[in-house]
């Protein structure tokens, strides 16, 4: 994993671009609606808790906090929602309705349809009644947290994040200037298109805090993490990076990650001053910084990092060969003469000879830059100590 720098200016531009549409959908999709799942039609209703939540985020100032809040601020929103949900029941109330008959008074109450003696009903009232009557075989009304999640999911996921031709994922990632998955650091995340055809390769965007359980964060700027297919679809899926007890982060959001060495290596039947050119790949084994020993299991569970990088002993081995060649006295004097002529060429030379960007800002530009940078930092540390 590598760090993604915060960009609050871009986050606010993101909000300004989409705020009117978001506010419109919050207002438009309120009330109650039906949805058919497994041949059963469910009624989802706006209860008091949902009303308070949507009233709060119908305010532009509060909505800006939800959309542009940094990871620690989003975590506080999660904790607040969880606390306010505490009194909501997880039990479902089932109401079986006869689809051949009109709604009963009890059903109308559940559906929040006002019963009045008015001769003319509003178009919305007529649509509500007819939509529920016509679309049900067995109508099940759900109350409590399930209603909240589905109602918010319908607004923020179905009608905002997932709205076709509304949110362009490729443009979102392109504006960030990232080319490599920040979770694994191994795979490119750009789109490839062919003229006259659909996208052949497209990027993934992971919701760091899953949108399934926390749909109100489905369009929060710092919760949208560009990622590769392996990390998002195969490994992480809907796994939650939060602890069950206090809802704190168990692993770092890439925006919160402190850029310090994560990868190391172990030597077998070698010491740091051995000639790596004559050694075998098996003599060098990828390892991890002991500082992360309490988290490496979680990184393995969420992204498979431990298993994946143990397959890259060859990259560490080849890098150490190049490093020894690079640091030889003859080559250093040659490169020093060039660098003295043009200081700006240093990063290009390191990239060409060692294969990684020297600056931390470059870790998102080429696969394995973070990995190779950490391996060389560990090599320099061992050389300085003068021991294996």
- pLDDT for residue 132 is more than 80: no
Within 8 A by CB and 6+ apart from 304, the residues are 184, 230, 235
pLDDT for 291: 87
Range ranked top by mean pLDDT from 33-42, 187-196, 206-215, 379-388: 206-215
> Reduced to 3 DSSP states, what percent helix, strand and coil does the chain have, rounded to the nearest 5?
50, 10, 40
* C-alpha distances out from residue 190 to 174, 193, 267, 319, Å: 8, 10, 36, 26
What mean pLDDT is predicted for residues 311-318?
Answer: 93
In this predicted model, which residue has the larger pLDDT, 140 or 69?
69
- pLDDT for residue 216 is more than 70: yes
In this predicted model, which residue has the larger pLDDT, 188 or 112?
188
**Angle at Cα 25 formed by Cα 35 and Cα 128, nearest 5°?**
45
Mean pLDDT rounded to a whole number for the chain:
81
Confidence of residue 308 (pLDDT cuts 50, 70, 90): very high
pLDDT for 186: 93
- pLDDT for residue 337 is more than 80: no
Confidence of residue 205 (pLDDT cuts 50, 70, 90): very high
Range ranked top by mean pLDDT from 37-41, 85-89, 307-311: 307-311
Q: What is the distance in angstroms between the CA of the first residue and the CA of the last residue of the chain?
A: 27
Q: At what angle do helices 313-326 and 369-385 cross, to 10 degrees?
A: 60
In this predicted model, which residue has the larger pLDDT, 353 or 153?
153
What is the three-class DSSP state of 171? Answer: helix
- pLDDT for residue 326 is more than 80: no
The two tokens of residue 303 are 């992204």
The two tokens of residue 378 are 């560990």
What is the three-class DSSP state of 266? Answer: strand
**Angle at Cα 338 formed by Cα 336 and Cα 340, nearest 5°?**
70
């Amino acid at each position: 994993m590598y760090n993604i720098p915060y960009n609050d200016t871009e986050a606010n531009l993101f909000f300004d671009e989409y705020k009117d549409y978001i506010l419109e959908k919050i207002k438009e999709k309120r009330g109650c609606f039906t949805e058919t799942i497994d041949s059963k039609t469910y009624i989802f209703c706006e209860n008091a808790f949902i009303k308070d939540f949507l009233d709060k985020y119908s305010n532009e100032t509060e909505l800006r906090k939800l959309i542009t809040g940094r990871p620690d601020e989003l975590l506080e929103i999660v904790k607040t929602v969880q606390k306010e949900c505490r009194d909501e029941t997880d039990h479902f109330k089932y109401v079986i309705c006869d689809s051949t008959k009109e709604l009963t008074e009890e059903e109308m109450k559940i559906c929040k349809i006002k019963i009045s003696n008015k001769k003319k009903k509003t178009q919305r009232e007529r649509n509500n009644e007819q939509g529920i009557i016509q679309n049900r075989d067995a109508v099940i009304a759900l109350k409590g947290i399930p209603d909240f999640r589905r109602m918010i999911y319908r607004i923020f996921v179905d009608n905002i994040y997932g709205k076709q031709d509304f949110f362009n994922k490729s443009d979102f990632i392109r504006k960030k200037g990232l080319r490599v998955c920040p979770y694994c650091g191994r795979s490119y995340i750009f789109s490839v298109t062919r003229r006259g055809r659909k996208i052949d390769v497209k990027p993934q965007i992971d919701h760091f805090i899953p949108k399934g359980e926390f749909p109100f964060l489905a369009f929060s700027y710092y919760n949208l993490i560009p990622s590769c297919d392996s990390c998002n679809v195969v490994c992480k899926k809907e796994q939650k990076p939060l602890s069950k007890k206090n809802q704190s982060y168990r692993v770092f959001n890439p925006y919160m990650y402190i850029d310090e060495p994560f990868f190391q290596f172990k030597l077998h039947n070698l010491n740091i001053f051995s000639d790596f050119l004559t050694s075998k790949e098996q003599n060098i084994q990828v390892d991890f910084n002991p500082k992360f020993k309490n988290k490496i299991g979680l990184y393995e569970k969420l992204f498979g990092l431990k298993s994946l990088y143990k397959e890259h002993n060859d990259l560490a081995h080849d890098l150490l060969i190049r490093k020894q060649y690079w640091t030889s006295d003859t080559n250093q004097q040659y490169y020093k003469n060039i660098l003295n002529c043009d200081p700006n060429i240093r990063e290009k030379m390191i990239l060409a000879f060692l294969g990684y960007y020297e600056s931390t800002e470059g870790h998102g530009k080429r696969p394995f830059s973070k990995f190779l940078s950490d391996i060389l930092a560990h090599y320099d540390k061992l050389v300085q100590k003068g021991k294996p």
